[in-house]
Amino acid sequence: MWDPVSNPSLVTKALPIITILTFAATGSEMDVFSVISNMETNEKKGLSSYLFYPKYSIMDPEYTYSVSAYQTASGTADIMSHIFEVYFNGQKGAYLQEQIMEGMLKTCVHYGPIACKDPENYEVRANLMWTASWAINGFISCGKRGAWACHPMKHQLRKG
């Protein structure tokens, strides 16, 4: 699997992708990104292609009820890091996107702790799920690109 990660030009076609969301964080249900880890070399690398857009995504908050409090907190931090990458880029002139991002961050701050304490709360899980999807699907970065410099640091911090 490392060949296409090392050489993305090898990705020329893909089977239709259908996702079933069981964890609110990565946004895989609405984006073109993938990440793979090599535990032997302690590497974590990403790969993206428009061929990776899911054709269909099943998003039922009840499928996230079994996620542990630790993983829920980690997922909420991941959602927030996706937003921070775009929000803190110093670029001016994207007022609407900034307001949306602030609302998304408030959603994480409000619902993340509740989800850890009340994992079967449908409203809480639905809001985190929806925020995760929109945090990385490209919408908030319209007119406001992210540098994605901080996100890899979060991966390192999570290892400890």
SS (H, E, C) 11-70: CCCCCCCEEECCCCCCCHHHCCEEEEEECCCCEEEEEECHHHCCCEEECCHHHHCCCCHH
Per-residue pLDDT, 103: 98
Per-residue pLDDT, 36: 84
Are 46 and 37 a contacting pair, CB within 8 Å? no
Per-residue pLDDT, 33: 87
Domains of the chain, by residue range, sit at: 2-159
In 3D, which of 52, 120, 110, 114 has the Cα closest to residue 80?
110
Are 34 and 48 a contacting pair, CB within 8 Å? yes
In 3D, which of 156, 149, 98, 103 has the Cα closest to residue 130?
103
13: buried, middle or exposed (CB in 10 Å: 19+, 13-18, 0-12)? exposed
Per-residue pLDDT, 129: 97
With a cut of 50, list the residues of the chain below it in pLDDT: 160
Taking the C-alpha atoms of residue 96 and residue 124, their distance in angstroms, rounded to an integer, is: 24
Residue type for position 13: K
pTM across the whole model: 0.87
DSSP 111: H
Per-residue pLDDT, 126: 98
